[in-house]
Amino acid sequence: MNLLKGQRMKAKKRRLLPASFLLFLAVGPLASTPSQDQPQRPRFYALEAVCEKNVHNAKDSLGAPDGRYAEVFPGGQLIILMENKLYPLPMAGWSPEGPGGVADSGSIVGKAETEFGLEGWFPMQDNQGKQHYDWIPLGPSATGFCLFPPPTYPFEGKAGVDMIRITNAGTKSLFIDAVIGYGEEPV
């Protein structure tokens, strides 16, 4: 089964949904194996399951892909802490989408026939300069996901994200083998 094709078809259907609902369901594809399309950048993985709701074997989503899966039941949620921070990558240069696109910050290895939400715990600053955190949907790509929050979210310049929330918004279980981060801290 081609997971990417299924996710693209679901994405076309979702374009008809209200924008506020789409912000919650930032759906990205699940890869059955790590993408070979990614440039050779350092990889790192989920380190710890910080919070789980309606999840079986959450620890099986940690570390490198090994064929063992955490099962996120419908309505379930898994929050994981990454080994390193994920960073938004520049708009220019090489990316899977071609020049001028956004290179993936990460990907999820798993199996799914359901919709899921994917968000990062972003550091933010309010109008008075006070720092707080907020869950911001991550941008799906053909091969993973990007840290590319909407311009209405003024996150701090080089702020990275090390906590990812995966929410099963569908009616079938979501199976996660690994969450992979790409790259390293920008200079």
Q: What pLDDT is stored for residue 4 in this prediction?
A: 39
- Ordered by start, the domain boundaries in the chain are 3-182
Tokens of 87: 């960073």
Residue type, 2: N
pLDDT tens for the 187 residues of the chain, in order: 334 344 444 443 333 233 223 333 334 456 555 555 545 678 999 999 999 999 999 999 999 999 999 999 999 999 999 999 988 765 444 444 444 456 788 999 999 888 899 999 988 777 787 888 889 888 888 888 887 654 555 555 556 789 999 999 999 999 999 999 987 666 5
CA–CA dist 114, 98 (Å, integer): 28
46, HSE (Cβ side, Cα atoms, 13 Å): 27
Q: What pLDDT is stored for residue 186 in this prediction?
A: 61
Q: What pLDDT is stored for residue 90 in this prediction?
A: 58
Q: What pLDDT is stored for residue 40 in this prediction?
A: 66
Q: What pLDDT is stored for residue 27 in this prediction?
A: 45
Cα–Cα–Cα angle for 111, 112, 114, rounded to 5 degrees:
175
Cα–Cα separations (whole angstroms), residue 86 to 2, 31, 128, 170, 173: 27, 18, 26, 26, 26
Percentages helix, strand, coil for the chain, rounded to the nearest 5? 10, 40, 45
Using CB atoms within 10 Å of the CB of residue 25, give its burial: 0 to 12 exposed, 13 to 18 middle, 19+ buried.
Answer: buried
CA–CA dist 147, 166 (Å, integer): 14
Q: What pLDDT is stored for residue 75 in this prediction?
A: 96
Whose structure tokens read 């209200």? 18
Q: Tell me the whole-structure pTM to 2 decimals.
A: 0.73
Tell me: the pLDDT tens digits for 81-103? 999 998 876 544 444 444 445 67
